[in-house]
Amino acid sequence: MPDVEDLPQGDDVVVELRPAVAGDGAAGPEGEQSPAPAHIDALSVIGVPGAFAALEAHRALSAGSDVMLLTGDVALADEVALKRRAADSGRLVLGPGSDTAIIDGIGIGVSNVVAAGRIGVVATSGSGAQEASVLLDRFGLGVSRVLVTGPRDLTDEVGAASSIAAIGRMGDDPHTDALVLVAEGFSARGAEAALAALAASGKPASACLIGADGMSGPDGVDVHGVIDQAVVGAARRAGARPVIPAAESTGWVSAGHVRGIFSGSALCAEAAAVLAARLGRVVSNTPAGAAEYLDPRDVVRGHACLDLQAESVAHGTPHPLLDPSRRAELIVDTVSDQTVAVILLDVILGRGAHADPAGALAPAVAEALQARPSLQVVAHVCGTEADPQVLSRQEDHLTRAGARVAPTSAQAARLAAALVRPGR
């Protein structure tokens, strides 16, 4: 089986992975369908343009393979049809827009180098999955596998089909003792279906429904509104006692707005929800919680969180995880908006990501702070020491440039809010 470094990272790729695993769920004689395995014994990774991705996915399902759709621009009707077919045949469709996975110890797409463990992660987006897996690694627990089901999976139309299937796989996996679900852009019905699947798995579980503070889950499932609390909940259910370091204490710096400039949709949505709960009106192109939707045609004013991944899809520009230059330009441009008091950033590491993302952003951060000494920059680095970019090295780039670095994405948003909110 190829290592992750050998897998193509571009948009035009169809790769079939077949781990050499004997026994469980081996293919039966021709014309017979073996029971769905707890592990994944054949996976087709598809990254061709959207018009062809659904066809390739159907071909993979016909061949008895699970599917990972890197492609994001697959029509909703095609997604529904693929996932219904997969459910009928005991297969699994990850995506569309599934750009991260750790399966049988192998990272696919943009994946962090994390310790092997016994907690499984199911998420609707890559950045949410990465934040959860990185925190599990940091808490000394590690992950059994990471599966990304796609940003529309928990909508009414799709009905959490892939999340239910992925949770079922992990529930049957003897190497997984507890589960974490991270979801953004969910409907009430989709969330309910996913939570029910967690409860039915028979394993301790914790869910982050981003922005859904105060929501309760079925017996055996904790529900949280931010990722770090959900990971702590799963860790505690697994018998660990992790602690999230407190954010740096700070007084009121100045009245002004927070401007988030993100490369990960889940981290952007989480920040928007955290800020809206603390500061009032917040706009975002990936809103969650009380945050309001920002139309791409509108001028950005007030507190705002911008997901540049969505912008890259809309305009056909490079993904911000691969090319930080657009974010660096926005950091410098934001200085001219005198109402902005805090710039909030995420930096996502891992195989397949930019070789030195914080290093690419640091000159822009330093330039912004030199031009506006009263400005504050807050950042979170989602990564590990084992990642090719090295977590401590990336954090050092940012602190040397003058940014404040927080230990989790949610903590960064909390700190940003504290920097513009008068003490009480």
- What domains does the chain contain, in order, with CATH numbers? 4-237 (3.40.50.261), 257-420 (3.40.50.261)
pLDDT at residue 269 greater than cutoff 50: yes
pLDDT digits (tens, 9 = 90+) for 343-376: 999 999 999 999 999 999 999 999 999 999 999 9
pLDDT at residue 90 greater than cutoff 80: yes
pLDDT digits (tens, 9 = 90+) for 342-351: 999 999 999 9
Give percent of the chain above pLDDT 70.
Answer: 87
pLDDT digits (tens, 9 = 90+) for 3-56: 433 343 344 555 555 443 333 333 333 343 333 444 557 999 999 988 899 999
Q: Which amino acid is it at 217?
A: G
Segment 383-399 mean pLDDT: 98
Higher per-residue confidence, 313 vs 265:
265
pLDDT at residue 377 greater than cutoff 90: yes
pTM of the predicted structure, to 2 decimals? 0.90
- Reported as a pLDDT band with limits 50, 70 and 90, residue 385 is very high
Torsion angle of alpha carbons 120, 125, 128, 132, nearest 10°? 10
Phi, psi of 248 (to 5 degrees): -55, 130
pLDDT at residue 94 greater than cutoff 90: yes
pLDDT digits (tens, 9 = 90+) for 106-117: 999 999 999 999
Give the per-residue pLDDT at 14.
54
> Quick one: angle between helices 227-237 and 409-420, nearest 10?
140
Contact 43, 25 (CB under 8 A): no
Name the residue among 103, 106, 116 with its Cα closest to residue 38: 103
* Pairing, β 14-17 against β 43-46: antiparallel
Segment 389-414 mean pLDDT: 97
Segment 155-183 mean pLDDT: 96
Give the per-residue pLDDT at 23.
33
Segment 129-144 mean pLDDT: 95
